[in-house]
Amino acid sequence: GGSPCEGIMRETRPCTDKVGHRNCMFSTWSMWTVCPVTCGGAQRSRSRSIEAHAKGDGLRCKGHLLENGVCGQEQCPDAKLGTCELSAWSGWSICMVTCGMGTQTRNRSIAQPAPGGLEGCKGALQDMRPCQVQPCGQAVDCRWGEWQHWTDCTPSPDMCGVGYKRRQRGIDVLPKDGGQLCPPRTREEVVPVVNCKGQPQCCINGEWADWNSWGTCSATCGLGSKQRHRKLLVKETWCGEPAPGSDR
């Protein structure tokens, strides 16, 4: 039953900068975004903005406006550490011909992608073997076709990790009427792809830069010592290994 608020909520007025110089000023960082997972590892972010741009000879803005951080690093209760898991092979299909030599296939799939940052999937997803029915006529030997081009890579389902790509090949000529069988070979394969479509790896090991030149001797006569230094080129991530050794 009270009266509504009345009045101006913000006023502005002109001002002058007597000095004419001003340094850039950032806002404070925002709160971290909500972690998309509770376990298994993911990333969250926070941001800030430029509240006041540099003026005159003031210091220009230098620094990030968006920052990423690791979150949810606890291991999931049902998580399986290790590499990608493939399903069991299916049963063999029926023979693909009604007479002579043919082929049978069986398949399997990716049952569990590799956890972020670990080794990606690698192995055959389809297998083939010869089969023989009743003879037909003049013998024709079996011949494998060439590999097709690799497919575009598929990124890991996580925000970081290792993706994969596939390629296939088939039998160009099936054996006929007692012709030679094709030797057993992989028909479809998958291999891991690092940096798939720009996706970063999760587990990156630390790496040193090259050594600097040796410094001057600590003594002008007699026995002394020299030192040299190196800088950390790549800092390890939360699941990577620190760079071995020291900086001097």
78-121: pLDDT as tens digits? 655 556 778 888 998 988 777 766 788 888 887 776 665 445 67
26 band by pLDDT with thresholds 50, 70 and 90: confident
Model confidence, pTM: 0.35
Average pLDDT, the chain: 79
Task: State residue 170's pLDDT score.
Answer: 92
Q: What is the largest CA-CA distance in the chain?
A: 102
How far apart CA 5 and CA 188 sit, in angstroms, is 71
> Could you tell me which residue, 85 or 195, shows the higher pLDDT?
195
Query: Would you state the torsion angle of the CA atoms of residues 132, 138, 141, 142, taken in this order, to the nearest 10 degrees?
Result: -50
Other beta carbons less than 10 A from residue 104's beta carbon? 15
> Could you tell me which residue, 85 or 17, shows the higher pLDDT?
85
How far apart CA 23 and CA 5 sit, in angstroms, is 38
> Could you tell me which residue, 172 or 179, shows the higher pLDDT?
172
Task: State residue 215's pLDDT score.
Answer: 84
